[in-house]
Amino acid sequence: MGALEEARELLREFPVVDGHNDLPWALREQVRYDLDALDIAGDRSDRLHTDLPRLRAGGVGAQYWSVYVPAEQPDPVAATLEQIDCVRRMLERYPADLAPARSAADLETARAEGRIASLMGAEGGHSIANSMGTLRALYALGVRYMTLTHNSNVDWADSATDEPRAGGLTAFGREVVREMNRLGMLVDLSHVAATTMRDALDASTAPVIFSHSSARAVCDHPRNIPDDVLERLPANGGMAMVTFVPKFVLQAAVDWTAAADENLRAHGLHHLDTSPEAMRLHRAFEERHPRPVATVSVVADHLDHMREVAGIDHLGIGGDYDGTAFTPDGLDDVSGYPNLLAELLDRGWSRTDLAKLTWRNAVRVLGAAEDVARGLQAGRGPSLATIEELDGTPGGS
């Protein structure tokens, strides 16, 4: 049996739990949530990385749908609720393929039914507007992880891609982590500064996750995880879900992106600008400097390293599909996961190892967070802390 065939067979038994997919934001941007206008029941490879046929082809059995909103939204809480509404409407619309899931038990039920368990993750502490009540409301709506920051700092935690301010987590930030532990919402450390990762590991009594991050030792980018943090995952019980985004996983792509950003800035534009003028400059740059292409093998290199440092019980997959413009060759869209498994089989990963990578670790981690929450709820009630009480005036000093 060829490796690819074996990978597919394996995925039928232990499908992928993917940590991060930005389809809801893509539906907002492309069709303003009009699910008729971009029906994912059919092939949408012209406009999206994700649709139901390709999720099936890719062997996806559970998806954390990201309810990401940019921190610059006028009201990020309202926008986050709109994202949650989008996921709820997707679940109502495609009941044969998508199963609402809030727990480890729901994941196993969905696997037994052959449906894709659908969970939600909020990407960035700005989605709770410094409000514990809002955090609990998100939990009540089914959100099962929150990434502590996105690309910018929040008042209580530093981001990997912003100037250090809090030096990790503030007192209120630690209280947010404690409250997430009490609720059973996973603490997601993708996007956060290494100082925040360490502070959160100190504060959390439940397993943490990295919903879409790779290894900094393999590719030195702030979005990736340093070895000293990976080393702490066995004691914590959590997991790092490897991401495929070329500009984080391939050094040549990191360098190329930095040069492309510099090119935009040299023309007086912000490096994340997507105006027609910016896109024209970008295309011109790309013609002069061909974009380096990542491959399945590059991602497997990250996994080999992460396995060495964190151990096989602490790995997972978070593709970031529809949240990134470029994808590696062979992992072009959500149908590509079998190619990654085939590569790992060729590198000598056992079937048991792969079942942990795709399914078992993620189910174990969510279940462990639920256990911790049950224990904590017996001992303490909802946190009533405010950021003013714990940190003084937000944004000050």
Where do contacts with another protein occur on this chain (CB under 8 A)?
A: 32-34, 75, 77-78, 81-82, 84-86, 88-89, 128-129, 131-134, 136-137, 140-141, 381-382, 384
Q: Is 271 annotated as catalytic?
A: no
Q: Which two tokens stand for residue 346?
A: 């060729």
List 51, 126, 175, 191, catalytic entry: 191
Helix (H) or strand (E) segment spanning residue 241: strand 239-242
Q: How far is the CB of 385 from another protein (least distance, A)?
A: 12
Toward another protein, which CB reaches closer, 32 or 288?
Answer: 32
Toward another protein, which CB reaches closer, 258 or 384?
Answer: 384
Q: How far is the CB of 32 from another protein (least distance, A)?
A: 6
Q: Is 320 annotated as catalytic?
A: yes
Q: How far is the CB of 133 from another protein (least distance, A)?
A: 3
Cα–Cα dist 322/344, whole Å: 24
Toward another protein, which CB reaches closer, 33 or 326?
Answer: 33
| Phi, psi angles (nearest 5°) of residue 235 | -65, -35
Helix (H) or strand (E) segment spanning residue 208: strand 208-210
List 18, 22, 322, 370, catalytic entry: 22
**Token pair 């470029």: residue:** 326
In 3-state terms, what secondary structure has residue 295? strand
Toward another protein, which CB reaches closer, 76 or 316?
Answer: 76
List 18, 175, 320, 343, catalytic entry: 320
Radius of gyration of the chain (CA): 20
Q: Is 22 annotated as catalytic?
A: yes
Q: How far is the CB of 138 from another protein (least distance, A)?
A: 8
Q: Is 287 annotated as catalytic?
A: no
Cα–Cα dist 169/163, whole Å: 14
Q: Which two tokens stand for residue 220?
A: 């030195």
3-state secondary structure 76-98: HHHHHHHHHHHHHHHHHHCCCCE
Q: How far is the CB of 199 from another protein (least distance, A)?
A: 25
Q: Taking the CB of residue 50, how many other CB atoms lie within 10 A of it?
A: 25
List 212, 221, 282, 305, catalytic entry: 212
Q: Is 20 annotated as catalytic?
A: yes
List 51, 106, 123, 261, catalytic entry: 123
Pairing of strands 239-242, 315-317: parallel
Toward another protein, which CB reaches closer, 107 or 132?
Answer: 132
Q: Which residues are part of the catalytic machinery?
A: 20, 22, 123, 150, 191, 212, 320
